Chain A
């Protein structure tokens, strides 16, 4: 590019609660270009996008638009400056028409009244121009499909003269034929010299659409390359490549009475999302559930914990058949779940550390609470839970890592035989991660059976004794712990390992309308990058 960049972000740094999520990131956007932002879960893609959108403020660094420094402290400011963002959740009023939404807050007025006709005409013109005749400006937004709603968001951005549009996982919830519409629209946007910032986990899309690719990793920019200069396999390596320092604690000597005995046994488990799940976890063992987003990992966890149910097959815990119809029953049977979303599912944020820690005891064994809760301070201590206000402190004031420790303590107090850990280290700092890993080793040594779910493949591989790989709700195969990432990914994507993701012969350029993103080729979505 010879021209000056439309947008120039320099050394953007952002921390949340002391955890640095962006570390001096640079980014340039040029008109007519699609700049893809790739990286694993937690690499900082969404945060960077939100800094641009004015949702978050950068702690350090500058943003220049057309060479003028800008600072967006509110999303509306960013929009006025021509920076529009299409988030995964839309900002549309379902009961209004397409035209009404496009002109929301900037209604065309004539003699003091809203001129509906003029708005519909303007919206219709814009839709025609973009080749989107299928959408009527008069349709109510609620009657539109998800893809059409997304189009309305983009049209809305354009009608506000957006020169930069950033999209967060725009295809995440689109059907294949709908992706096609988006591809076409992106082509038109580029012809109009709009600069696009695009976050996606699907490498195929990135290679279909992007002109430039920036790889983020652990909040830092690893590389920015022209899309033509890198092969998909290389890109994956850049994304995954890990510092050698990441080590997992060694296994401890087993000492519990349950070590080696089958503690969790699922035979032919199935419901609407998963089918034919056979799973055995022994005391002292960590079994990792690997698979892409939507492959059924979390669904299995939910079914085991009674949030959903297996409608087929049987579950045995310590040899006894159980039917966990509710979390309560699961806990009684000795199964606990550390869910992936601790703030909404794991903690009562306004209650004290102690109250949260003993909640499961209070709820499930109200009579034995006193005796069992005596162990809590020791559990907090062994987890190295650090709270300035002591155990009476409300958990909302704790960091993510310490909050997760409270959730873990709650379940440890219940003395479970089987622990399902769904993303136990998500969003917590390195030190807390190590504490969680050490805890897992200690628990297994005592004979607890652990089922681990994680989007971070190295963690899954490094911690698990065995890996059960899921693909589309079924068990694809089982691998020993320490298998390499590519073997796991190959199974999870249902593709032989040699096949390169992306560049398949039937690929079309981003400009050719009717390009076929819809073919069910191997989804080159890297698991570690799942949201």
Chain B
């Protein structure tokens, strides 16, 4: 075993049939597994101009190459498809137990096409795959669906279930796919694709062994990383407010320090991503008031309101995804906070807290718990939904929409009870909720009246809770990554933490530097961007986790794990070459689908045009066009974003011969 099974499962919902395709080894050596394998198959299979909600679109569930090999923090599963939000490449990444479950059925991925004539769910193990009627499940939320299917199919081993809630059933373009009681692959509108196919759930209960070529070496690397994670813990006297103070100092500093990413792991262990709530707000990372404000607008009361110690106080157990030794998740008891509506919930992630706090000027964490659980159950992306609400409030404030449009709702900054009512309407597609359930781009176009100018999105995808005015590389990623509007692909911060230059020959060193130096278009910043993008494709091909990734290549030794699992004899540069190949294939996918690579450029507001007048980002403007030009240059793409012929040759993308490449043929 080399970490992959060499097989994928195909499901045609129109024909209600399944079959297995064997994948040759050269595909894995060219694309790894995970999102790389998906890029190869989806480029090959989805015809140009396919309707994302039609039968030709393919919804891929993929595992990572290192998942199940004994490598730790390698349990992410990914969904890839043609995104109905952007019309281009879409993918989303989630933890839980679904990634190993795919492999234990004997596959590296499950690829679903066609449209079912009735609600169905897929049940598979290592012997067979069957489509079963799901009429009785249609209408249930994702957690109810998971519980029902668990009870129905749990014989010996606990099955793994992914499903859609009401948002996916209603083909909301901001819906996702849910597993493990509310963890959601939320981005790119993947839930809408599943809903359009009337595929309610996938239940996996295989028990095949998994593994890599050299388990002794893999385990040794895992022990080394785990020992470091175990050693670094925060003393109890360190509170959330101290971390927030650290963010304040970082915000005031004219320098960006060179930090060891391992120092973030104790935060993740203690609080999870919410540990950064106050820090992000204070340093200018959290977008405020639909990207128009700064922390100065409400300063200390905000930081106190979102203190992660409030959330930790509700935690009844830690939650680890499969193979994770960090354990950033947690289950909270929230019945007191939700008037008894919900008893337990995954603790809200930073993205969710910020989406329903800084972005909409909220300070009501109790309401955030309820919104978090409500949206997780419905299967709706909290980031996108938060942006829709922020846009609606600003539009209401400016008189572009009125109570006649909102079914009587009076929308105000910080009024989370009304926001909750608006979200309920979006989940049910009721009244204004029907107009807004497809994200801020379509929602604002439907309303019109110049409200589109207030809609913060990149090619249809709402950006994350990380401010591009703080992190210029992030602005480039938001604008021209193959999945625009996404924060996970790369940033100045991630680049500095991953320390790629220690293992990759062409990655520029990044030590202590002035913040000012990041706001210049240069070959060096472009190379950092390219390296971040390529490395993230490698990590997503392996099934790795972003949070472990930012501990740094010297700790989270992805290249070494891959070598131990495959024995291919590849160097880090070789793996980065694969990463570039995956990214370029996704770009070719977008071009094949008619996407203009420059059309998703972030709104001027997100680039600091005009700049903010107060707060840590005061006066900051990102020269995004010039940075994009430099990035395309080092990526070997022309100034329109099309990969050049010599780049395709250098990357060996001839493996796609026969496909519709580069808009030709």
**Chain A bound to chain B:** no
